[in-house]
Amino acid sequence: MIEIDLELALASYTLRVAARLEAGVTAVMGPSGAGKTSLLEAIAGLRRGARGRLALDGQLLLDSVNGLSLPPEARRVGYVPQDAGLFPHLTAHANVRFGARADASAVASAIATLEIDRLLERFPASLSGGEKQRVALARALATRPRLLLLDEPLAALDVGLRERILPYLLRVRDEWKTPVLYVTHNVGEALALSRRMLLLRDGRVEADGAPFELLAAPALASAAEPGVENLFSGRVRGHDLEGGVTILDLASGQGITVPLAAALTPGSAVTVAVRAEDVIVARRAPEGLSARNLFEVRILALARAGADVTLRCAPQGGEGTLEWIVRVTPSAAAALGLAVGQVVYLAVKSHSVRLM
Amino acid sequence: MILPLGVLAALALARYRGPGKGALETLLSLPLVLPPTAVGLVLLEALGRRSPLGGWLASHGLEVVFTWKAVVLAMAVMSFPLLVRSARTAFEEVDPRLVGLARTLGCGPLAAFRRVTLPLAWRGLLAGVVLAFSRALGEFGATVMIAGNIPGRTQTLALAIFHDNQLGRDDRALVLAGVTTALAFVALWTAEWFTRRRSRRIAA
């Protein structure tokens, strides 16, 4: 549990943020200059002049009324800036081990989670952008932080690389269970990773809620860029060599079919991504369709955002963990008469399901 | 000897953003532009037996003027600005966000300085030390004023060369000049070697 009630005077306005955050990922969005980075720095203890109250799991980090402000090294808050911020004079391994609290087992699991064992002897100057981000994430994790602050960790990467880092973020969220404050410009990433979103504008919280509910907010609609809205982890069930497909079991127990990836051994963990616009919606169970994946779902919410209608759906009667974000045109939504509560079928071609 | 002091002064100048910064900077750089004999004269007046400070030191058994301590003092005062200037540039080039990150990773201010700032500023510091050393090696004016030119006691290489030349012993002066050259060469070469090895590692 993170309690934030902060005030910080900046050059052109005063940042005022009050929020209580639970575990999991909280996305922080908003236009440039809205105070997102300043907010993270104030939480990390890197901004002098921050006033108010900050508490993490019941421990006060900042309580300016009583003159308390813990120095950054006493806060146990991990911070990963946009450019990774690796120490250039140290190898990747020395970077990961840098944290004073880093114990050997935490270092080893951080290295395993981010799959950087082959990069360890290299210096930051010889790492690619994505590799730097993974090393920086491992470095922060190795200190076993109580809260992880990620400042647009993917922004400096091109689209392809970005999508290859996302599974690592998913693992940090699900395996380390570290609460994360995640600054991003990408609505898709926010939908895929977070349960909660803070929308900042000019230093104030303009909106605060579930990412899906905020989709229609004007600030978000204008910031929208394509991303991968549906990100699921699963395991390889087996291969159908003749059919040219690989079948995966999703965490929900449902199966999903992807183009043959024979190199994967059955049982290994994988992440799959589906873009919201790559999902076909049907009112009745379609027949004679080439799409290999068909899911019966109920529409939980429906939002008009920008030029699109976005749906949030969950499997019929199944566990609610596997939610689908689907995007259709307003004309399709009208023709199908889509409404909340309705049961529809989602069809996804194998080729639209990407293994990450 | 001036290294810790110079590093502290450079740090203060690199971080401090208050009033008087400009005046302090100028004051520290003054020995660079003043004639060394003028600096020597000021030191002589300040530390001579007749001055309050010099008298106080003498009453505590510390004779400075015309001893080897005066040589050290003259060299320190004259080379200090060079060290401070390059050390300050070196510190200013270290990204303060990296220092902040080290703090979030559990380092106190001192540990962050030792493990991040110092290694990253190392090259500039070394350059400053070499510069300061060269300045000290060539120091003449201030030394001759405050320490005199007493053979075997306060005669530095630079003074000895002048002394021998004045006495017509050019062969001895030449040998001493050769020794000076060798010392300077070794110092510069060592510094160069260190920096090259380091930059190769970081760029690798």
Mutate to test the interface with A, among B105, B125, B195 (most CBs of A within 10 A): B105
Asked if B132 contacts B83 with a C-beta cutoff of 8 angstroms, the reply is: yes
Asked if A98 and B202 come within 8 Å (Cβ–Cβ), the reply is no
Residue A143 is nearest to which of B106, B111, B115, comparing CB atoms?
A: B106
Residue B105 is nearest to which of A88, A100, A125, comparing CB atoms?
A: A100
Q: Between the ranges A13-27, A277-291, B80-94, B149-163, where is the mean pLDDT highest?
A: A13-27
Burial pattern A261-283, b for ≥16 Cβ within 10 A else e, equals eeebeeeeebbbbbbbebbbbee
For residue A125, list chain B residues with Cβ-Cβ distance below 8 A.
202-204
CA distance A37 to chain B (A): 12
Asked if A126 and B204 come within 8 Å (Cβ–Cβ), the reply is yes
- Cα Rg, chain B, nearest whole Å: 20
Whole-number Å distance between alpha carbons of A104 and A92: 15
Question: Residues 105-134, chain B: which have Cβ within 8 Å of A?
Answer: 105-109, 111, 115-116, 119-120
Beta-bridged to residue A14, according to DSSP, are A9
Whole-number Å distance between alpha carbons of A260 and A52: 55
Give the right CATH number for B3-203 from 1.10.3720.10, 1.20.144.10, 3.40.50.450, 3.40.50.1820: 1.10.3720.10
Query: So what's the pLDDT on residue B204?
Result: 45
Residue B97 is nearest to which of A71, A85, A101, comparing CB atoms?
A: A85
Choice between B104 and A230, residue whose per-residue pLDDT is larger: B104
**Could you write out the DSSP letters of every residue in B134-199?**
HHHHH--HHHHHHT---TTTT--HHHHHHHHHHTT-HHHHHHHHHHHHHHHHHHHHHHHHHHHHHH
Query: So what's the pLDDT on residue B201?
Result: 57
End-to-end CA separation in angstroms for chain B: 34
Whole-number Å distance between alpha carbons of A339 and A333: 9
Asked if A351 contacts A259 with a C-beta cutoff of 8 angstroms, the reply is: yes
Residue range B10-63, pLDDT digits in tens: 666 666 655 666 777 777 778 778 888 888 888 888 887 777 777 777 777 777
Residue A143 is nearest to which of B98, B105, B109, comparing CB atoms?
A: B105
Whole-number Å distance between alpha carbons of B105 and A101: 8
Q: In terms of CA atoms, which chain A residue is nearest residue B98?
A: A85
The verdict on pTM exceeding 0.95 is: no
Query: So what's the pLDDT on residue B17?
Result: 57
Query: So what's the pLDDT on residue B33?
Result: 82
For residue B203, list chain A residues with Cβ-Cβ distance below 8 A.
125
Task: Give the torsion sign (CA, B40, B45, B48, B54).
Answer: negative
Q: What is the mean pLDDT of chain B?
A: 79
For tokens 């003074």, name the residue.
Answer: B159
Query: So what's the pLDDT on residue B20?
Result: 65
**Is B166's Cβ below 8 Å from some Cβ in A?**
no
Q: In terms of CA atoms, which chain B residue is nearest residue A141?
A: B105
Helix axis angle, B52-59 to B36-47, nearest 10°: 60
Whole-number Å distance between alpha carbons of A32 and A185: 9
Q: In terms of CA atoms, which chain B residue is nearest residue A77?
A: B104
pLDDT in tens, chain A (356 residues): 899 999 999 888 899 999 998 888 999 988 888 889 999 999 999 998 899 999 998 899 999 999 999 999 999 999 999 889 999 999 999 999 998 666 889 999 999 988 899 999 999 999 988 899 999 999 999 999 999 999 988 877 777 777 778 888 888 888 888 899 999 888 888 888 888 999 888 889 888 888 877 776 666 655 555 566 788 888 899 999 888 899 998 877 788 898 888 888 898 888 888 888 889 999 888 888 888 888 888 898 888 877 788 888 888 765 556 788 888 888 888 888 999 989 999 999 888 888 87
For residue A139, list chain B residues with Cβ-Cβ distance below 8 A.
105
* DSSP-assigned letter for residue A99: S
The band of B72, judged by pLDDT with boundaries at 50, 70 and 90, is confident
- Cα dist. B95→A219, B89, B117 in Å? 33, 12, 9
**Is B96's Cβ below 8 Å from some Cβ in A?**
no
Query: So what's the pLDDT on residue A227?
Result: 65
**Is B97's Cβ below 8 Å from some Cβ in A?**
yes
Q: In terms of CA atoms, which chain B residue is nearest residue A96?
A: B105
For residue A144, list chain B residues with Cβ-Cβ distance below 8 A.
none
Choice between A25 and B131, residue whose per-residue pLDDT is larger: A25
Percent of chain B clearing pLDDT 70 (strictly above): 85
User: Cα A289 vs. chain centroid, distance in angstroms?
Assistant: 32
* Backbone phi, psi, residue A114, to 5°: -95, 5
Query: So what's the pLDDT on residue A356?
Result: 74
For residue A94, list chain B residues with Cβ-Cβ distance below 8 A.
none
Asked if B116 and A125 come within 8 Å (Cβ–Cβ), the reply is no
Reading across the β-sheet that carries A196-201, which strands appear in turn?
A68-69, A59-63, A51-56, A2-9, A14-21, A204-209, A196-201, A25-29, A180-183, A147-151, A77-80
Whole-number Å distance between alpha carbons of B175 and A334: 99
Asked if A125 and B202 come within 8 Å (Cβ–Cβ), the reply is yes
* DSSP-assigned letter for residue A175: I
Whole-number Å distance between alpha carbons of A338 and A336: 5
Domains (range + CATH), chain A: 2-223 (3.40.50.300), 230-355 (2.40.50.100)
Query: So what's the pLDDT on residue B161?
Result: 85
Domain residue spans of chain B: 3-203
Mutate to test the interface with B, among A73, A103, A146 (most CBs of B within 10 A): A73
For residue A72, list chain B residues with Cβ-Cβ distance below 8 A.
100, 103-104
How high is the ipTM of this complex? 0.73
CA distance B38 to chain A (A): 43
Burial pattern A138-157, b for ≥16 Cβ within 10 A else e, equals bbbbbbbbbbbbbbbbbebb
- Cα dist. A265→A237, A261, A268 in Å? 9, 9, 6
Residue A124: what residue type? Answer: P
**Could you write out the DSSP letters of every residue in A258-299?**
EE--TTSPTT-EEEEEE-GGG-EEESS---S---SEEEEEEE
Burial pattern B38-71, b for ≥16 Cβ within 10 A else e, equals ebbbbbbeebbeeeeebeebbeeeeebbbbebbb
For tokens 């200013």, name the residue.
Answer: B92
pLDDT value at B65 more than 80: no
Q: In terms of CA atoms, which chain A residue is nearest residue B99?
A: A87
The closest of A128, A111, A44 to B97, measured between CA atoms, is: A44
Mutate to test the interface with B, among A83, A98, A123, A132 (most CBs of B within 10 A): A98
Q: Token pair of B70, please?
A: 């005066």
For residue B116, list chain A residues with Cβ-Cβ distance below 8 A.
87
